[in-house]
Structures are given as C-alpha cells and as structure tokens.
Amino acid sequence: MKKIVFALMGAALAAAPASAANLVTNGGFESTSSPYQNFQIGFAGSVNGWSQANGPTSGLAYNLLFNSATATTVDAVSQYPGEQQRIASENYPGGSPNGGNFIALDGDTGYNGYLYQTISGLTVGQTYKLTFSWAGTQLSNRSGETTERIAYNLGNTYNFNPATSATTATIGGGTHYFKGWYTETATFKAGGTSQVLSFLSVGTPNGLPPVALLDGVSLNAVPEPAAWALMLVGFGGLGAMARRRRAAMTVYA
C-alpha cells in the first residue's frame, strides 16, 4: 500500500508544473540600467528584462520608472526637462504593496507605448495565472478629470489590440486623484513555448492624461485538475495509513 501511495504522489508531482516559480524576469522593476532613481524608460535608462515600443505618434513612449521613496519629490529625468515629472503628492499612499520601484505608464494614446517581455519555457496548452498590482493617478504638472485603465495580454506579439484584450476596470477622478493599489489576476493558455507578456496604458483625455502605475508582475503555471486529483488520492492514502497505525497502537497498548 505504501509503495502505491508514494507512486501516486510521485506521478502527481511529475504531472504538476512548478506553479510556485514566477516566470517573469524583474517583475518588481528593481533592476535597471540607469543611475537615476526616477527616469523616462528609453531616454535615461532601461528596465532590465523589459522592452518598450514607441508611441503611436510621439516616437519615444512616455513611460517612467519611479522609486517609491522619491516618487513625489524628485523629478524623473526625461525628454521634458524643467517640468514637474513626478507623482502628484496629495493622495499618494507612499508606494506600492510590492515596495521599491514601480512604473508609470502614460495613458495618452499618442504617447503611450507597450511595455513587454518575452516569456520562454512555456508548455503549449498549459494555463498560466497572471497577477499584478496597479493604480491610477496623475503627474504633478497635470490637472482635470481623467480616466485610466491598463490593457494586457499574453500572446504571440506585444502589439495586441487594446479594444479587444483583457483590461482592468476603468477608474478616474479629479485633479491629482489616486485610486488603488488594486490586484489584477487573469489566466491565459499558452499558444507556444515562448509568448509575449505586454501592458498598455489607456487614458482620457489626451493632452494631459493620467498615468497607470504598475508593479509586482508575476506569471505562474496553474496545476491541471488531473494532477490535483492524483495528489489528493496520494494524501488520502497517507491519511488512511496513519489512521491504521493509530488503531494498531490502540489495540496493542
């Protein structure tokens, strides 16, 4: 009996993917190539493991990396020197749940650009769970009523259609509002052994839109039901063996 139970558990462990492993590189954005704490991605440094597409009409997309500790006090080094390119301080909660760095994705449809990463080592047909933290706010030099959401995808290319992709809820508010942090989760089935995980900020109105904040990105394999069933059978067998041992000890005591 013991050999059968352990054989079942071994088969279950072999069938179940390593769901605890985060497949995203630098999902907290802590590793960068820049000497600056706050900077425009692609202008004053890069975020290791991540790439960025150009904006539709602006050339370089206006996506910024901020350090939680200085996000409201130190301007990001950007292509617009002299402007207050920092997070508005009035309602800022002091950083993300993940801590450290986070990214502010511009929602202007002329300046927004896909932030993306190629994920390798996937199993075709396997289900994967995406989790990330996000919020909506404004930079300190912006004002007015705005709305914001993040569109995201795991597919063959970063250049997905935000109108038909998975998206967060649409949030918004008045001048220097802050809403979040929220936790977003979604599941995707891998269509290949390598897929592109991508994010795009979509805000209104253009001109002085809000930014969407992003942090704590993870992608984990979801164990298949058959693997869970095998594991439950194995644990049930171990429980039955333990009960028989206790019964035997009671009889011979």
Query: Per residue in 184-201, pLDDT tens?
Result: 999 999 999 999 999 999
Query: 156-161: which pairs have CB atoms within 8 A and are 24 or more residues apart?
Result: 156/191, 156/192, 156/195, 156/196, 157/196, 158/51, 158/53, 158/114, 158/116, 158/196, 158/198, 159/53, 159/114, 159/198, 160/198, 160/200
pLDDT of residue 243: 58
Average pLDDT, the chain: 86
pLDDT of residue 5: 42
pLDDT band at 131 (very low <50, low <70, confident <90, very high): very high
What's the average model confidence in pLDDT over 88-108? 95
- How is residue 209 written in tokens? 């839109």
Mean pLDDT lowest for which of 22-36, 103-117, 192-206, 225-239? 225-239
